[in-house]
Amino acid sequence: MVGREVVGAALEAADPVSAAAVRGETAWRTAYPGHFRRLVEIAAHAPQRTVPSARAGLDRLHSAMRWEPAPGGDDEPLAAALDAQGATLATEVVEGGAEPERELSIPLRGKRIRGAELTRQLDDWVDAGVMEPGAREAVRRVQDNPDWLRLEGRTLVVLGAGAEMGPLRAVLRWGATVAAVDLPRPQLWRGVLADATERAGRLLLPVGADSTGELEQRAGADLLHDPAAVARWLGTVDGPLVLGNYVYADGGTNLRLAAAVDALTERVAAERDDSALAFLATPTDVFEVPGDAVAQSRQAYADAGFTRFVRAPLRAASGGRLLRRQYAPGLDGPLVSDAIVPQQGPNYLLAKRIHRWRATSAAADGRLVSMTVAPPTRTRSVTKNRALAAAYAGAHRFGVQVFEPATASTLMAAMLVHDLHTGGVAARPGTPLQAESHTAVHGGTWRIAYDPRSALGIAALLGWGAARP
């Protein structure tokens, strides 16, 4: 199993005993959350192992994943995918017709908030434990420097142009130049083109060099099956580039896509010293959390709220699985929040961990990297799973705020703008894991009373009737 091999290699660089446990794991599909958690726990207590562990995981990924140039043919190393002969892509340019926005605004509950109203909302989110104070300060700094919004002098490459969480729409509103990559799907590109023409930015699209017809019929490139064509096309785009990874696919394809894009990232970074990298971390993962988050969670457990009268019988009836306190009392030193959702599966979590590893490794090499923990969001990929949609609908009962896609994506775009102007991950305080956490917008999962997984089922029951498909 590739996932077990890759996680085992990452653990081998940090703790051989834990690596042996992974290699001996016979129930990977159900037991994987504990091994992913162990990776973070070790790095939290031994920060010097974080970068070697990340690099070992990436190295094993690139050796375990293979490239098959033709169906039924011999496979080759993953890096060979970037040297393959593939499509030849040309560039089409779409110029927006609107004036660029010169003040940061964020859509929220049917309107756009800005200025003092946005500042108050940021305070409310911090007070409610929805975002870390570092995120508030980052957005405020963008408010104070609206000239940053246009990303003057940079081209933002959005891999996964149709992604709901991607920054494409927000940065086009601000007047940025965006090179957009996604599959050749006319319906997807019809929406992207409509967004581009209604906004102020400049959109660059890959199209088949000899293709004809309407632009939405010609646009697109296949990152999974022809990454070499995308790499060659990016070589023609004026820089400096910001290579933003927002791709997603269902099931095992997601891991294959993550590997292909990471190989592309390595190639672009090697060829263009001026390129920066951008990622979003999923909130349904494991992170080292600051001490005040632990204190707030413990206070929430003491206050209890509506669960005060039901948690004891529920814990007894479930053998302690339901409504466990998130952080045990009396524990000192680095602590982690574990919000892994087993229903999303090991392939999803490994794909997202690859992003974190690449961000950690690249920042350690001195490259400009933006990575922010994004909030729980009602994207199509989440809500098409009825159980997850129900859990999200009931999450507010436990103090977790689930964002609408327009709000979350614009907020994350503002965080990207901040990072690109202030040094990114490497400029944040603390160890690599603490830098990850500094600007997190986790929706409250780090600061609620209960271990998120122990409350998930109850949240789903409470939210079942309100779940939106």
CATH of the domain at 245: 3.40.50.720
pLDDT (0 to 100) of residue 316: 84
Q: Which of 12, 31, 64 is the last residue in one of the domains? A: 64
Which residue ranges in the chain fall short of pLDDT 50? none
Total domain count for the chain? Answer: 2
In a domain, 379, yes or no: yes
Same domain, yes or no, for 279 and 350? yes
Spatial contact of 123 and 136, defined as CB atoms under 8 Å apart: yes
CB within 8 A of 453, min separation 6: which ones? 33, 338, 339, 340, 341, 342
In a domain, 72, yes or no: no
In a domain, 80, yes or no: no
State the DSSP string of 91-106. Answer: EEEEE--SPPP-S-EE
In a domain, 153, yes or no: yes
Same domain, yes or no, for 125 and 255? yes
Euclidean distance between CA atoms 449 and 326, whole angstroms: 6
- The answer to whether the peptide bond before residue 240 is cis (omega within 30 degrees of 0) is yes
Same domain, yes or no, for 47 and 112? no
pTM: predicted TM-score of the whole model, two decimal places: 0.96
Same domain, yes or no, for 40 and 96? no
CA angle 341, 283, 184 (to 5 degrees): 90
Residues 207-223: b if buried by 16+ CB within 10 A, e if exposed: bbeebeeeebebbbbbb
pLDDT (0 to 100) of residue 423: 98
Spatial contact of 166 and 244, defined as CB atoms under 8 Å apart: yes
Closest to 256 in 3D by CA, of 72, 64, 83, 71? 64
- Domain containing residue 47: 2-64
Closest to 436 in 3D by CA, of 39, 60, 149, 107? 39
Same domain, yes or no, for 27 and 152? no
Same domain, yes or no, for 58 and 190? no
Model confidence pLDDT, tens digit, residues 2-33 = 999 999 999 999 999 999 999 999 999 999 99
Give Rg (Cα) of the chain: 22
pLDDT (0 to 100) of residue 466: 65
Same domain, yes or no, for 373 and 449? yes
Spatial contact of 433 and 318, defined as CB atoms under 8 Å apart: no
pLDDT (0 to 100) of residue 180: 98
User: Cβ-count burial of 152 within 10 angstroms (0-12 exposed, 13-18 middle, 19+ buried)?
Assistant: exposed
